[in-house]
Amino acid sequence: MAKDVMCEVNSCNYWGAGNKCTASSIYVVNNRSQQAANSAETDCKTFEPKV
């Protein structure tokens, strides 16, 4: 498993210093009905907007 998960989405509740994700786990899914062929065809379901 990756030691550090990098994230540039500063509007996410889990965004931390140094662009590191602070979530305890990450959930990524296909955003199409078929298998993803590239990163643009995936979505991070871990995202929670900052309040």
State pLDDT tens for residues 32-43: 888 999 999 999
Bridge partners for 41 per DSSP: none
Structural domain including 5 reads 1-51
Locate 27 and state its tokens.
């959930």
Residue pair 13/48 in contact (Cβ under 8 Å)? The answer is yes
Q: What is the pTM of this model?
A: 0.82
pLDDT digits (tens, 9 = 90+) for 1-51: 788 999 999 999 999 999 999 999 999 999 988 899 999 999 999 999 999
- Coil, strand or helix at 1: coil
Q: What is the reported pLDDT for 3? A: 85
Structural domains of the chain, count: 1
